[in-house]
Amino acid sequence: MDPLPVSYSRMTQTRLVLPPDTNHLDTIFGGKVLAYIDEIAALTAMKHSNCAVVTASIDSVDFLSAAKVGDALTLEACVTRTGRSSMEVYVKVYADNLLQGRQKMTTESFLTMVAVDDTGRPKPVSAVIPETEEEQRLYDTAPSRKEHRKNRAALR
C-alpha cells in the first residue's frame, strides 16, 4: 500500500454550542466534546484507511478551557502515525466567539483507531507522510506516546 500524506485525510468540523449541550454554567459538557472528538477521529481514520475503523483507545484528553453557549466549536483531526492496523489520530478543538472575534483552544486529544475487516479483525493500513513542521513533530513523538500506552496497559 502506498503511503499517504497527512493532508489527504485531515478533517475539520464546526458545530454551534447549544443550550442542551451545556451545564448550569452555560459551558459545554466534556462528554459532548468527547463524542465529537471520537466521531471526527473515526472519519479521519476511515478516510486514511479506506475501511471501517474502531476506537481502540482514547489515549489522552485535555480540557484546556471552556466553550460557552453560542460559541462555534471547531474540531481539526489528522493521522499522526500508523502501525500495521492502528492509526494514532490527533484532535484539536477551538472555541470561537464569533461576535467578539476571539478564538481559544479548548481541548486536545490523542486516540488510537484500528482498521477492521467485515468480521472486526484488524486490517493493514498505509503509512502516513508528514509534510508540515507540526505534522513532523507529531510523527516523531508518536513512538513515545505508544510506549506510554504500552506501559499503561502493563499496569492493568
Ligand X SMILES: CC(=O)SCCNC(=O)CCNC(=O)[C@H](O)C(C)(C)COP(=O)(O)OP(=O)(O)OC[C@H]1O[C@@H](n2cnc3c(N)ncnc32)[C@H](O)[C@@H]1OP(=O)(O)O
Return residues touching ligand X (CB under 6 A): 54-57, 83-86, 112, 114, 116, 120, 122, 149
Q: Return the number of the residue (71 or 88) whose C-beta is nearest ligand X.
A: 88
Q: Which residue is nearest to ligand X (CB)?
A: 83
Q: Return the number of the residue (24 or 156) whose C-beta is nearest ligand X.
A: 156
Phi, psi of 118 (to 5 degrees): -60, -20
Neighbours of 132 (CB within 10 A): 13
Of 102, 107, 108, 35, nearest to 71 (Cα)?
Answer: 102
Q: Return the number of the residue (30 or 120) whose C-beta is nearest ligand X.
A: 120
CB of 125 to ligand X, least distance (A): 8
Report how far apart, in Å, the C-alpha atoms of 78 and of each of 28, 117, 151 are.
23, 22, 24
CB of 114 to ligand X, least distance (A): 4
